[in-house]
Amino acid sequence: MNATALRTAVAVPADEVDNRAAYLAFASAYVFGHGSAMLAKAGVVPLPPWLPIALLGSGVVAGTVLAVIASLRAQRGASEARRRAEKLVGTAWITGFVALALAITGLSTMFDKPELQTVLWPAGSTIVVGLIYLAEGAVRGNALHYNLGTWLTLVAAATLFVPGAGFFGVLTVLGGGAYLVAAFLEPRRLAALAR
């Protein structure tokens, strides 16, 4: 289903961000990317090492593009103050991921353990995404987005206690599942706003 068909199924207020398509793309990134990493690490399915990263990356790129398009569309109908707040929250993505890259590089270099990156990138990225969703949810008054951010942040931090393939299994089920639940609930949220 394309973004236009998704938008026509529910009336979306002009200044509201419609996250349905982005949530589904991120769900596919988690389910197929982290899911294939889990299967490969558990030795269930022999996969080339690049495949889980490619599946995760393609879903993340698609989700990011869809999220940016939805946000820009909503900014056209928003007040000047709201547009300014959206731009500030938007720059948090750059700040968050630059800080994450520095932290992961520093930790893996300081302890001379490059293998730490295997868990720090997925968990750290999900923590950064979750924290930014918290900020976006607060700025937009979107409790669903805020709650999704809370869930992702806590789940990602907890995955660091899960050894081996289970690490990726938790991200697959609890991360990908959260995005699917959010995609299911988003039309209800939008319909309530349209009333």
The domain locations on the chain are 3-194
Tokens of 115: 């293998």
**Weakly modelled stretches of the chain, pLDDT under 70:** 1-10
pLDDT, position 13: 79
Distances (CA, A) of 44 to 28, 36, 51, 62: 20, 10, 15, 28
Asked if 131 and 143 count as a contact pair (C-beta separation under 8 A), the reply is no
pLDDT, position 7: 47
Distances (CA, A) of 135 to 48, 130, 172: 37, 9, 24
Q: Which candidate, 182, 187, 138, 167, places its Cα nearest to that of 41?
A: 167
Cα–Cα distance, 131 to 100 (Å, whole number): 12
pLDDT, position 193: 86
Q: Please count the other Cβ atoms lying within 10 Å of the Cβ belonging to residue 124.
A: 22
For 83-93, give one letter per residue: b (16+ CB within 10 A) or e. Answer: eebbeebeeeb
pLDDT, position 2: 52
pLDDT, position 6: 47
